[in-house]
């Protein structure tokens, strides 16, 4: 296999695809599989034979198109007809009407074109379009042409320059400029250098990285290859949580395929460039996604964060320079190389370029996975893409950034989504969770819930996060059970600010965000709970059997 | 060998120290004491207790002095209203976290947490104080661990690993449930790696690890790690 061979595979594959008139893409991602996607797939395979159209139709299992709430989802190309809630029984009808008669089955089509209208699919460019278990599918879509371009025509510095020009920022939460990070690792002394791709995704209710890995695993691998070439790394670890069995399987297969085409290994595409990827599995700790904790975990230790400096760029895995990058960041790299950094920098806002994937959940009409350009407003996400709040309830707040994000009220709905705007109002980008809350939600209870999550997930190393969050949790218990005094609001505030400022790692530094933002935007609810002992959402003051702690 | 030095200001005082020195040590060598709990000279720094947080001009963030190296021209503030407030907060959170009742504690009057509370003027605890019921292990011939008094500074774990070199002690569980364990969570009396060297009891800042029947005033000897390290580096000449 050499550089030209990749091009040949792409051409062969395109010819092969051209022989088909239709392509039936059945989503076989984690969302649709429990709903019976494999049965639907089988039904399609049988139905096309039954109607004698198997020569015209290619039935493929693909990744997620994002409409996880109405699965199993099936897309028929050309025309991108999206069928929802497909059952094996309905498959014959679809094949008969759509393929044989050429009349799409109106009643089964996804009725919400607005869900896709404001999206901009860059990272998820292949999601739902290619079969993630076939490397040829990825190559046919132009995959691995970016690493070919790097190896054939670009210097490592040139690659870093291109990524810096794109102004891409890390998608794992903190938003550090990616090109700058690559420059730091490239310049750091010490050999070998390592790459760690972060697919820990420990935030509850967030599934963007999982979907990406299940739908387009080679995009992540290609991003790692390009990063390795740019910084001079020979070995990469892909850290994935073991709760993602399908993603693990998909990635394992992808790595084996890439090796067999010598895209990974000692002599990548006969250019002498050497890079290998190994999977490492997390054991389900949120903090393991933090960059120093992930290093400890990859080394085989307890996933405990450590103080920085030294920064991983200088002293990471086994004390060597290490690049830690979120998988969504990595999946952006191939398109930046293909189209140029300048092209990428025009998408989104001037300071936050590109797009971001979000898991849209909670009280929304269209839950699912979305990818939107940076700078889109919360209102557009919640009301246009999400279709508003169901059952005629009233919108109350939107939680951006997972368990350590901020609860933002309707007054902030016109806020553009980018790193800096979110930080200014007390939220964070996090790994991309947007939870919509309606007037059934109690904001005190919501803040309490996320505090409890962070208490459970705190590693225990530093006082503020370990001992402090547990204290806050107790204050919340008092407020929601009716044993609180007004001073407790001040205590909450003081303790939260302290935990934010004094904690060792990002977990403790951001964990008080839900408390601080609800105190800032929904203070009256706290007052009602304490003074009047009432909860307008009817969530609190219920008698519960109190468990004995410890 | 010549060492490069760095000049910086700590609380307005100009000091010159070797490159790579931590702020905590630079301050101490110049007579400025920053409160600490987890740090111990001679052991690897941990950065956990957050008592040593200081301000550095030009940054809104706080820095743990025990683990932040000096750099040239740095201006460090070790005392301010905010820092005192934060240190009090840390002590209060620790006091509320487990069962810290000085009057019935072996380490009463010889406890670093207690004396810090006094120094910082902690005269009440904002939070509800917890009454924990964690395991007390007195199966060892003379070493006792009362996990209800532990503040999880991990000095014992580090001294056992780094100075004694046996790594009998470690942590189990995480967060507020973290506990110091022996070997693979065995009783101390049946630990096959423990050498009974007593260093853990000597460095424990509180009354969590102590020697049965021996006054804590006699046991505590927290400079031990520093002494042994310096001796091993042959810093002392005969
Ligand atoms: C508590 C905590 C959890 C984190 N979890 C993740 C995660 O699941 N995935 C991730 O990519 N980054 C996570 N991060 C961010 C990483 O520390 C790191 O910033 C990121 O992986 C860097 O990659 P990027 O520059 O591509 O964003 C987490 C950070 C903290 C503090
Ligand atoms: S002494 Fe520095 S954090 Fe404990």
* Interval A444-488: pLDDT, tens: 999 999 999 999 999 999 999 999 999 999 999 999 999 999 999
Taking a C-beta distance cutoff of 8 angstroms, is the pair A458, A507 a contact? yes
- Taking the centre of ligand 1 as the mean of its atom positions, its distance from the CA of residue A228, in whole angstroms, is 19
Q: A475 CA to chain B: closest CA distance, Å?
A: 8
Chain A 239-278, residues with CB within 8 Å of chain B CB atoms? none
Is residue B74 located within the same domain as residue B128?
no
Is residue B71 located within the same domain as residue B95?
no
Residue A501 touches chain B, beta carbons under 8 Å: yes
CA A214: distance to chain centroid?
11
CA A334: distance to chain centroid?
17
Domain that holds residue A386: 355-438
Q: Can you give the C-alpha Rg of chain B in angstroms? A: 19
Q: A320 in helix, strand or coil?
A: coil
Is residue A458 located within the same domain as residue A410?
no
* Prior bond of A518 cis (ω within 30°): no
State whether A466 and B175 contact (CB < 8 Å).
yes
Mutate to test the interface with B, among A282, A292, A456, A471 (most CBs of B within 10 A): A471
Does A548 reside within a domain? no
Beta strand B75-77 with B53-56 is antiparallel
- Chain A hits for B47, CB-CB cut-off 8 Å, are 306-307, 461-462, 504
pLDDT of residue A544 exceeding 80, the answer is: no
Of A285, A459, A464, the CB nearest to B90: A464
Is residue A167 located within the same domain as residue A308?
yes
pLDDT of residue A543 exceeding 80, the answer is: no
Measured from the Cα of B153, ligand 2's closest atom is: 4
- Chain B hits for A470, CB-CB cut-off 8 Å, are 97, 175-176
* Prior bond of A83 cis (ω within 30°): no
Count Cβ atoms below 10 Å from residue B148 Cβ, excluding itself: 21
User: Which CATH number do you get for residue A432?
Assistant: 3.10.20.600
pLDDT of residue A549 exceeding 60, the answer is: no
State whether A463 and B128 contact (CB < 8 Å).
no
Is residue B151 located within the same domain as residue B178?
yes
Element (H, E) at A514: helix A513-521
Is residue A319 located within the same domain as residue A188?
yes
From A438, A459, A475, give the residue that closes a domain: A438
Is residue A336 located within the same domain as residue A300?
yes
Closest by Cα among A336, A347, A55, A458 to B152: A458
Give the percent of chain A with pLDDT over 90.
89
Q: Which residues contact A226 (CB under 8 A, 6 or more apart)?
A: A146, A147, A150, A159, A333, A334, A337
Number of domains in chain B: 2
Measured from the Cα of B67, ligand 2's closest atom is: 2
* Rounded-to-integer distance, Cα A133 and Cα A250, Å: 6
User: Which CATH number do you get for residue A161?
Assistant: 3.40.50.11540
* Interval B191-211: pLDDT, tens: 999 999 999 999 999 999 999
Chain B 153-172, residues with CB within 8 Å of chain A CB atoms? 171
User: Which CATH number do you get for residue B215?
Assistant: 3.30.70.20
Count Cβ atoms below 10 Å from residue B225 Cβ, excluding itself: 22
Is residue B16 located within the same domain as residue B52?
yes
* Interval A166-200: pLDDT, tens: 999 999 988 999 999 999 999 999 999 999 999 99
Band the pLDDT of B2: cuts 50, 70, 90: low
Is residue B89 located within the same domain as residue B71?
no
What is the sign, positive or negative, of the torsion defined by CA atoms of B120, B123, B124, B130? positive
Taking a C-beta distance cutoff of 8 angstroms, is the pair A136, A13 a contact? yes
Q: B113 CA to chain A: closest CA distance, Å?
A: 13
Does A104 reside within a domain? yes
- Taking the centre of ligand 1 as the mean of its atom positions, its distance from the CA of residue A203, in whole angstroms, is 10
From B44, B79, B114, give the residue that closes a domain: B79
Is residue B133 located within the same domain as residue B99?
yes
What is chain A's length?
Answer: 550
Stretch A273-295: mean pLDDT, rounded?
A: 95
* Interval B58-75: pLDDT, tens: 999 999 999 999 999 999
Is residue A451 located within the same domain as residue A428?
no
Is residue A372 located within the same domain as residue A339?
no
* Rounded-to-integer distance, Cα B53 and Cα B38, Å: 12
Is residue B13 located within the same domain as residue B71?
yes
Q: Is A239 a pocket residue for ligand 1 (Cβ < 6 Å)? A: no
Taking a C-beta distance cutoff of 8 angstroms, is the pair B205, B151 a contact? yes
Is residue B146 located within the same domain as residue B100?
yes
User: Which CATH number do you get for residue A66?
Assistant: 3.40.30.10
Band the pLDDT of A112: cuts 50, 70, 90: confident
Element (H, E) at A373: strand A368-373
- Let me know the angle formed at the C-alpha of A25 by A241 and A260, rounded to the nearest 5 degrees: 55
Is residue A362 located within the same domain as residue A311?
no
Is residue A467 located within the same domain as residue A336?
no
Stretch B207-217: mean pLDDT, rounded?
A: 95
Pocket test for ligand 1, best of A164, A171, A173, A331 (most atoms within 8 A of CB): A173
Chain B 35-64, residues with CB within 8 Å of chain A CB atoms? 45-51, 53, 61-62, 64
Taking a C-beta distance cutoff of 8 angstroms, is the pair B69, A484 a contact? no
Is residue A398 located within the same domain as residue A429?
yes
Q: Which residues contact A279 (CB under 8 A, 6 or more apart)?
A: A237, A238, A239, A240, A248, A251, A252, A255
Does A549 reside within a domain? no
Beta strand B179-182 with A355-362 is unpaired
Distances in Å between the Cα of A490 and the Cα atoms of A476, A496, A536, B106 are 12, 10, 22, 35
* Rounded-to-integer distance, Cα B183 and Cα B173, Å: 14
Write the DSSP assignment of A23-83 as a string of letters: EEEEE-STTTGGGTHHHHHHHHHHHHHHTT-TTTEEEEEE---S-GGG-S-EEEETTTEEE
- Chain A hits for B176, CB-CB cut-off 8 Å, are 455, 458, 460, 466-467, 470
* Rounded-to-integer distance, Cα B3 and Cα B146, Å: 45
Q: Is A290 a pocket residue for ligand 1 (Cβ < 6 Å)? A: yes
Q: Which residues contact A436 (CB under 8 A, 6 or more apart)?
A: A360, A361, A362, A363, A364, A382, A386, A389, A395, A398, A399
pLDDT of residue B86 exceeding 70, the answer is: yes
Of A302, A467, A498, the CB nearest to B176: A467
Stretch A91-97: mean pLDDT, rounded?
A: 94
* Interval A294-351: pLDDT, tens: 999 999 999 999 998 899 999 999 999 999 999 999 999 999 999 999 999 999 999 9
Q: What is the mean pLDDT of chain A?
A: 94
Q: Which residues contact A422 (CB under 8 A, 6 or more apart)?
A: A400, A401, A406, A415, A428, A429
Burial of A18 (0-12, 13-18, 19+ CB in 10 A): exposed
Band the pLDDT of A545: cuts 50, 70, 90: low
Q: A22 in helix, strand or coil?
A: strand
Number of domains in chain A: 4
Is residue A428 located within the same domain as residue A474?
no
pLDDT of residue A279 exceeding 90, the answer is: yes
From A92, A113, A134, give the residue that closes a domain: A113
Does A123 reside within a domain? no
Does A54 reside within a domain? yes
b/e sequence A167-190, b meaning 16+ C-beta within 10 Å: bbbbbbbebbebbebbbbbbebee
State whether A501 and B86 contact (CB < 8 Å).
yes
pLDDT of residue B134 exceeding 60, the answer is: yes
pLDDT of residue A135 exceeding 50, the answer is: yes
* Rounded-to-integer distance, Cα A274 and Cα B19, Å: 38
Predicted ipTM? 0.96
- Taking the centre of ligand 2 as the mean of its atom positions, its distance from the CA of residue B39, in whole angstroms, is 5
Phi-psi region of A548 (alpha: psi -120 to 50; beta: other; left: phi over 0): beta
Looking up tokens 């790299």 gives A333
Q: B237 CA to chain A: closest CA distance, Å?
A: 34
Is residue A333 located within the same domain as residue A224?
yes
pLDDT of residue B234 exceeding 90, the answer is: no
Is residue A34 located within the same domain as residue A79?
yes
Token pair for residue A246?
A: 């399908």
Under DSSP, the state recorded for B160 is I
* Rounded-to-integer distance, Cα A510 and Cα A402, Å: 10
From B79, B97, B118, give the residue that closes a domain: B79
* Rounded-to-integer distance, Cα B15 and Cα B6, Å: 8
Is residue B90 located within the same domain as residue B156?
yes
Count Cβ atoms below 10 Å from residue A286 Cβ, excluding itself: 25
Is residue B51 located within the same domain as residue B141?
no
- Chain B hits for A474, CB-CB cut-off 8 Å, are 127-128
From A438, A472, A493, give the residue that closes a domain: A438
Is residue B70 located within the same domain as residue B102?
no
From B79, B102, B136, give the residue that closes a domain: B79
Query: What is the per-residue pLDDT for A550?
Result: 43
Q: What is the mean pLDDT of chain B?
A: 95
State whether A463 and B67 contact (CB < 8 Å).
no
- Chain A hits for B93, CB-CB cut-off 8 Å, are 463-464, 467-468, 471, 495
* Rounded-to-integer distance, Cα B215 and Cα B207, Å: 11
- Chain B hits for A494, CB-CB cut-off 8 Å, are 89, 126
Q: B238 CA to chain A: closest CA distance, Å?
A: 37
The model's pTM: 0.94
Is residue B38 located within the same domain as residue B119?
no
Taking a C-beta distance cutoff of 8 angstroms, is the pair B113, B37 a contact? yes
Q: A265 in helix, strand or coil?
A: strand
* Rounded-to-integer distance, Cα B118 and Cα B127, Å: 18
User: Which CATH number do you get for residue B21?
Assistant: 3.10.20.740
* Rounded-to-integer distance, Cα A405 and Cα A412, Å: 14
Domain that holds residue B43: 5-79
pLDDT of residue A547 exceeding 60, the answer is: no
* Interval A21-55: pLDDT, tens: 999 999 999 999 999 999 999 999 999 999 999 99
Q: Which residues contact A181 (CB under 8 A, 6 or more apart)?
A: A170, A313, A323, A325
């Amino acid at each position: 296999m050499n550089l030209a061979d990749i091009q040949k595979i792409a051409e062969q594959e395109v010819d092969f695809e051209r022989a088909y008139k239709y392509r039936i893409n059945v989503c076989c991602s984690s969302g649709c599989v429990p709903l019976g996607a494999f049965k639907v797939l089988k039904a399609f395979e049988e139905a096309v034979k039954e109607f004698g159209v198997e020569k015209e139709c290619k039935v493929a299992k693909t990744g997620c198109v994002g409409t996880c709430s109405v699965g199993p989802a099936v897309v028929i190309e050309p025309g991108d007809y999206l069928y929802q809630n497909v059952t094996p029984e309905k498959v014959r009808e679809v094949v008969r009407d759509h393929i044989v008669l050429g009349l799409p089955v109106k009643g089964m089509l996804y009725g919400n074109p607005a869900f896709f209208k404001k999206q901009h699919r860059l990272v998820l460019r292949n999601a739902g379009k290619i079969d993630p278990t076939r490397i040829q599918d990825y190559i046919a879509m132009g995959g691995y042409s970016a690493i070919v371009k790097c190896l054939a025509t670009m210097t490592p510095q040139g690659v870093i320059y291109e990524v810096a020009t794109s102004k891409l920022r890390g998608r794992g939460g903190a938003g550090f400029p990616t090109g700058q990070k690559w420059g730091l690792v490239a310049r750091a002394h010490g050999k070998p250098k390592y790459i760690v791709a972060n697919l820990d995704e420990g935030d509850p209710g967030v599934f963007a990285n999982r979907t990406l890995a299940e739908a387009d695993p080679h995009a992540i691998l290609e991003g790692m290859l390009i990063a390795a070439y740019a910084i001079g790394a020979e070995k990469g670890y892909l850290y994935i949580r073991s709760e993602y069995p399908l993603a693990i399987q998909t990635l394992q297969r992808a790595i084996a395929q890439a090796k067999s085409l010598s895209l990974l290994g000692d002599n990548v595409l006969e250019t002498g460039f050497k890079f290998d990827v190994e999977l490492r599995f997390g054991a389900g700790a949120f903090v393991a996604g933090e960059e120093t904790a992930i290093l400890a975990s990859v080394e085989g230790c307890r996933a405990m964060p450590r103080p920085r400096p030294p920064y991983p760029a200088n002293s990471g895995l086994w004390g060597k320079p290490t690049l830690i990058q979120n998988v969504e960041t990595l999946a952006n790299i191939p398109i930046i190389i293909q189209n140029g950094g300048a092209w990428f920098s025009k998408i989104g806002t001037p300071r936050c370029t590109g797009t971001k994937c979000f898991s849209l959940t909670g009280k929304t009409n269209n839950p699912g996975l979305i990818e939107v350009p940076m700078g889109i407003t919360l209102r557009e996400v919640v009301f246009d893409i999400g279709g508003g709040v169901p059952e005629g309830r009233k919108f109350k707040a939107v939680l951006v950034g997972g368990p350590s994000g901020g609860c933002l009220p309707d007054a902030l709905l016109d806020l553009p989504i980018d790193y800096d705007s979110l930080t200014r109002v007390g939220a964070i980008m996090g790994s991309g969770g947007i939870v919509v809350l309606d007037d059934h939600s109690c904001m005190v209870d919501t803040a309490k819930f996320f505090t409890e999550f962070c208490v459970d997930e705190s590693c225990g190393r530093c006082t503020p996060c370990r001992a402090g969050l547990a204290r806050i949790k107790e204050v919340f218990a008092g407020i929601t059970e009716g044993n609180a005094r007004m001073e407790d609001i001040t205590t909450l505030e003081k303790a939260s600010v302290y935990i934010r400022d004094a904690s060792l790692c990002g977990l403790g530094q951001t964990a008080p965000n839900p408390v601080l933002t609800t105190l800032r935007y929904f203070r009256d609810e706290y007052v009602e709970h304490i003074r009047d002992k009432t909860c307008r959402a009817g969530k609190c003051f219920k008698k519960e059997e109190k468990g004995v702690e410890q | 060998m010549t060492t490069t030095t760095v000049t910086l200001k700590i609380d307005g005082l100009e000091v010159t120290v070797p490159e790579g020195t931590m702020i905590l040590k630079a301050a101490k060598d110049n007579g400025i004491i920053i409160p600490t709990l987890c740090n111990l000279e001679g052991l690897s720094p941990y950065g956990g207790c957050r008592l040593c947080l200081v301000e550095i001009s030009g940054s809104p963030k706080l820095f743990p002095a025990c683990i932040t190296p000096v750099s040239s021209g740095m201006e460090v503030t070790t005392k301010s209203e905010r820092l005192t407030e934060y240190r009090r907060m840390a002590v209060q959170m620790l006091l509320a976290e487990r069962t810290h009742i000085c009057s019935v504690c072996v380490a009463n009057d010889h406890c670093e947490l207690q004396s810090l509370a006094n120094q910082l003027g902690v005269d009440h605890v904002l939070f509800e104080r917890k009454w924990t019921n964690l395991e007390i292990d007195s199966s060892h011939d003379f070493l006792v661990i009362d996990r209800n008094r532990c503040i999880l500074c991990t000095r014992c774990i580090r001294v056992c690993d780094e100075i004694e070199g046996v790594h009998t002690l470690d942590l189990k569980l995480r967060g507020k449930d973290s506990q110091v364990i022996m070997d693979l969570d065995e009783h101390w009396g049946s630990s096959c790696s423990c050498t009974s060297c007593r260093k853990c009891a000597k460095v424990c800042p509180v009354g969590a690890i102590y020697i049965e029947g021996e006054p804590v005033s006699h046991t505590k000897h927290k400079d031990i790690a520093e002494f042994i390290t310096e001796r091993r580096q042959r810093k002392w000449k005969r």
